[in-house]
Chain A
Amino acid sequence: MTTFIQTQPIPAQPNPKKEELSLPRRYGKMLLGTPTNVFITVGCVVILWLVVPPLFRWLFSEAVWAGTPEECRQAAGACWPFIQEKFRFFIYGMYPLDERWRATLAIVILFGITGIAMVPRFWGKGLVLTWLAAIVGVFWLLLGGFGLPPVRTEMIGGLPLTLLLSLTVLPLGFPVGLLLALGRRSEFRLFRWISIAIIEAFRGSPLVATLFIASVMLPFFLPEGMTLPKLMRALAAFLIVAAAYIAEALRGGFQVVPEGQAEAAFSIGMKRWQILFLITLPQVIRHSIPGLVTIVVLFFKDTSLIIVIGMSDFLAAIQLASRDPAWIGFTVEGYVFAAAFYFTFCYVLSLYALRLERRRQNH
């Protein structure tokens, strides 16, 4: 009977070599490595060939960059003078001419505070206060009063309105959202039920419907003789919907913080509100920031829905401008411009949320 026993030690083998290719060869392999990949690459090239050159021609080479509507109509490409001509209207809407510097300042402040809030080094109590001050300042600038000539709320439109509704919704809705999130995990059944009902109702119904309801129903619940401007009604609707979404984002954060921390804090004699504000909440917020940024993106896009209740934000201003008889027929250009603007802002924020998410996972 033969036996197979290794008597000689096998010498150590070198590590399997990692395949190292030069950059062009690596890309060559990725693009044309297998028959499937060749097929995919050819398909993509065909799609790009069909889409990119006509798009380029329309956007750039055959487009009109300066001129009159008549010149535009004769050209095959896009009509950019339309955008140049109407640019101020897109930005300011119906805002009074003499007061436009206030709208400009408001835009700068809102963009500035958003930029500052994106830097993790500035996260803290100071930022919250600055943000609140900025919101108060922007409202003051746009609406007037207290030394500035007042502007009717119906006159506020264009970009400031878009920014006002989308960027103030997070800080203003946050306390309500926090209350709802706490209510949802409360040990008191009554509070839990109310919170769940509010969260689910406002997350479940379309924003358009909520806006419509706010503009139709709120007057019914106001005492006689009291009216609320449309802007405030829209803001109220956005606020409560944002609060519902924020509550949902915070819920995930609350689940992450281990219970032992609150117990430990309790055992060293901290009060409940101290535990909440000093121990739990900072961690919860840190965990929910990507979700909160996503909410900002969502609201930045969805502010355009206030068109339904007859207010004109950035997108609505573009729609209005394209009805100008002198410049009729260039709606698509307006929409492309709007898409570029929205895309830039939302894409940057989305990338930022993604980076925060990665950073959190690496922690």
Chain B
Amino acid sequence: MCCFSRSSFANEAKRLLPEKESKQKIFIKQVLRVMKLTTILLLFTCLAASATGFSQITLSEKSVPLSNVLRKIQRQSGYDILYRYELTQEVGPITVNVKNVPLKEALDACLDGKGLDYKIVGKTIVVSKSEQKRDVAPAIKPVRKEPAAPPRINIVGSVKDSTGNPLAGATVALKGTAIATKTDANGNYSLSIPDEGGTLEISYTGYNTVEIPVSKTGVIDAVLSLADTRAEEIVITAYGEKKMREAVTGSVTTVNPENLRIPSSNLTTSLAGQIAGIIAYQPGGQPGYDNAQFFIRGVTTFGYSSSPLIIIDNLESSTNDLARLQVNDIESFSILKDAGATALYGSRGANGVVLVMTKRGKIGTPVVSGQFDNSLSRPTKNLQLADPITFMKLYNEASVTRDPYAGERYTADKIYFTQQTIDKAPGYNPYVYPVNDWMDLLFKKYTNNQRANINIRGGSNLAKYFVSGSYNVDNGILKVDPINNFNNNVKLNSYQLRSNIDMNLTKTTVLSVLLGGIFDQYNGPITSDPSGASDLWNIVMHTDPVAFPAYFLPDSANLYTKHLLFGNTNGGLSVNPYANLMRGYSQFYRSTINAQLNIAQDLKMLLPGLKFSGMISTTRFSNYSINRTYNPFYYAVQNYNAVKDQYSLLWLNNVTDGNKPTEYLDFSRSPNIVTSQVYMQGVLSYDKTFASDHNISAKLIGARQERVLSTSANGTFDGSLQGTLPYRNLNYSGSVTYTYARKYITDFSFGYNGSERFSEEKRFGFFPTVGAAWVLSREKFWQESFLADLISSFKLRGSYGFAGNDNISGNRFFYLSNVDLTGGNGASFGVVNGYSRPGVAISNYPNPLVTWERSNQLSLGAELTILKDLKTVVEVYKQKRDNIYQTRLPIASMGLETGIGANLGKAESKGLDLSLDYSTMVAKDVMIAGRANLTATQSKYIFNEEPDYPGEPWRRKTGALINQRYGYVAERLFVDDQEVANSPYQFAGTMGGDIKYRDVNGDGQITTADMVPIGDPATPQITYGFGLSSRIKQFDIAFFFQGNAKTSLFINPQRRKPVFRWWSTGQYHALAAGVCR
């Protein structure tokens, strides 16, 4: 109530206190609240009505809430009215008709017989409960007392769900009145209503509300069906706005979060195939490094960034933030796919937007929900390695087949005795003739993971809350040696805490505080892979299984050694995968904390339908990582006496330099990564229906974001001045939608965005979008024809517009030169070169013309509901990108120190999104639902900065698919050396049995000019999924298939050399020191 905000009133009320003993309690509460609110709400004093001096009151109200009537009286009289909102609710709607009467008479007309009393004190009216009303039984909400009350009837009945289970706490209400009750523990209720007939409205959270006309029998039983598809009828659009699906012209897909529930602690791995419009795949499975790659409508640019914008609770978030989100915490999950949907995000929306809102509190008693999972996890497929004997024979073959004089590496003896070791036959010695199954030595068969999530949800008229905590632990499949007193296996502990609180400061003001924290604690093996994922599989694939044992048991000379005796080759160390796994561990501690303050103010007192919301938030990210390693001790067998089966161990790496083996863990730290982000946003929105058929809604948004990074994203310090400056973005956007009769919808939106990267002339980009929709099924001709039975709802929509992208290069300020006066090659002068001057290094030439990458999107869609239950959405789109930033080619050779770029590139993509959703009750207790999604997309280069390649058009990327690989066309293997000699020259050393390539340009030799675009891109062009779920009484069953297609996979020949050993001595030392990057 706006009247609460008056500080003058607070004083008035205080003076009143001693006079009225009976009302003291209510008053103290009120006054305290008023005093607190007064300070907070000074901001909104302007909203309080400042009416003066009408003493005559006119009211003509029919069945309206008492609170509305009181507000009218307040406005007309200029008096402040204080009352408890609940009191007016209990009274229910009232009817009053007075004309030009004094204030007292008007109040009497409103409050008489309602069990309410009033008192006028100064310029304030206090409404309270009258004495005689106190003892009304609360079970059945009070009914308004009418002078001549009609006879009442009693309705009894039960409320059950579709499986026949009673629903306790379901609300049974007489429609249009305040008469209501709740069902008891057995789902039964009893309700006394006036004998005038009417309709009962029976509702229960999560179920569809049913309306049943009151019957004369007085028994009304109701069966409520689960509101499964409810989430899909409301779509969540830009800035978290809820809209009826019907009223949206842009392309938005809202998915039921339940569909994303899979037994994984990484949400990104569940996206593929669940949402029409998302292309996704998962490149690896290591906990902490298992994020899926996902793109909205595919990769639509070959520019710097093709990742979608991720917005969680209105905040730009990272892929990791999304990965750690708990399905139980998600209220809605949407993706915004076209310009019409992303327009309000302007600059950041060109690659699409993933929009997630977390759950908020709900009015009612607190509900505690929990979920606990225990998973057994193992690889989908293990690499199958050849056995050691085959390995040795083939290695020998490999040596001789290329060079007959090379000699065989593995002697017949070695092969024989290795076989003996495998068979444990006479003459075997596992240390002299080792056999290592590296896969088995390093990797466990399966591992065990746990997940827990608990949340509490509740609230009252004053405040609502949702508090959730989660703990996930994901273990790896790496083995741990008991001699080490540390864990080198992967273990990702992840904690999340979220608290969303909404407070109703006044009837029109909601203050929300959202706090969220994600805390990852990772432990894992030492790796030389820059991504941080383990490189052990790659090492295993390139290590000789018979060269040395993984480790030795201590011999007599080493009985008291405290370290593991790792095996290695005598005469030049190679990599022992077992030592690589056991030599230490790496850890990171990653935290993301965000705090958000949001205030939403209904401005209906200024203009009905006007609302304002303002938000300020900050996000802090920090990552601390450390490696702890020891240098392994390596041994080899020497002086082996086969007769006595005796040998001694030779210590191989008895060195004193930096690679000296250690029995303790040394450490190395990476720079701490700290990121701070501050984001502010203000949204002014207006929504009003005129003359019942005309609806106008409009929105104005201003937002700014500032980020400060301690290091660049990969954790290295950006030493330049530029790297220390805050990164800033500015966004103004707006939209207007006009809807006529819920049939025709048109809208216009725009983004006007500023980016610090561009010069003043080019800094702001304007990106407009128009959209329209037509709900055919609301047309009379449709409803009257047979079509209405076949297709109960049918909507066509389309949007056309622009979106921008400023994340177009790693370069920071295109318009500023970046010169280091002491960074270049210097020169020395003088007889003995005694005088030196440093040179100048240039890392950027100013280019004031660089500007926004722009995407131009046309999207058409049809939404149909066929035969009542099958919901279908089909969309086609075409997107053109231009102004893609590329480095100019010809200038690179003109003596410039660094490349010069321009907005040159163009790309085009087109595709289809399809989703089908079906849900039906086949019998009383049997529900069946099915869904299917398809995302198909294809993106091409339209213009690429490249030479003309006269006569060799296949070399041009223009026209080729984005991310398509270039390679030779392999015809088959050469039959023999003779054929190699008679074919176009390929590469040095080519022999029979090597790959024969096609000489595409026919110049008699195989060169890079013969490389053509081959296959499909590594990013799938089709992602699809389909599944069924069913509930039969208390059982439920569901399955979901997912697939990717139109993608090519390359067995990387560089990493797959099957025979020769990969590691040289030099690489070993670099690796052991943990610096090989």
Q: Do A and B come from one complex?
A: no
Residues of A whose CB lies within 8 Å of any CB of B are none
Residues of B whose CB lies within 8 Å of any CB of A are none
